[in-house]
Amino acid sequence: MPFGMFEYMSRIWKNDIKDHKKESNSKDFRLNPILPIVFYDGHEGWTAPTQFQQKVRNYELLEKNTPKFEYKLMDLSGIGFSELLGLEDIKGFFLAIDKVKNPEEFKQFQDIMKEAWIKKVKEKG
């Protein structure tokens, strides 16, 4: 994951330079900051390092010359459908539907959505 994140960040910055071609030649030009975040909802615990340097062999030898960044891990594996849907916005819905990995989980998701729909209808009355 750290390599993929590094590639994504590089692409974003390349586009930033391309979009500001004239300004990017200036010594005062600065790239936009990026906050790298990984949303994980697998069944197993997250094991990949979150710091890029940890994926470079003997980075300590050339630490000043090795890219240094850390991505934030949002581990959703311990959060159920109900909690995510409780966010009450479209982000919660998409995070919840992304957790569906098999037919049993899909059925559970459907049941929770049905309960939420009934609750909303009753509230609007």
- Average the pLDDT over each of 8-17, 62-71, 104-113 and give the range with the smallest value: 104-113
Residue written as tokens 């919840």?
A: 96
Task: Output the CA torsion sign for 74, 95, 13, 23.
Answer: negative
Could you tell me if 95 and 85 are in contact, meaning their C-beta atoms sit under 8 angstroms apart?
A: no
Average pLDDT over residues 44-66: 90
> What phi and psi values does residue 95 have, to the nearest 5 degrees?
-65, -35
- pLDDT of residue 78 exceeding 90: no
The per-residue pLDDT for 53 is: 93
- pLDDT of residue 65 exceeding 80: yes
pTM over 0.85: no
Which of 92, 66, 67, 63 lies closest to 80, judged by CA? 92
d(CA 33, CA 99): 29
First CA to last CA distance, the chain: 48
- Say which amino acid occupies 65: N
Tokens of 62: 């050339």
Tell me how far the alpha carbon of residue 37 is from its chain's centroid.
Answer: 4
Q: Any bridge partners for residue 70, and if so which?
A: 51
Average pLDDT over residues 74-97: 70
Could you tell me if 86 and 116 are in contact, meaning their C-beta atoms sit under 8 angstroms apart?
A: no
**Domain residues of the chain, as ranges?**
1-78, 80-125
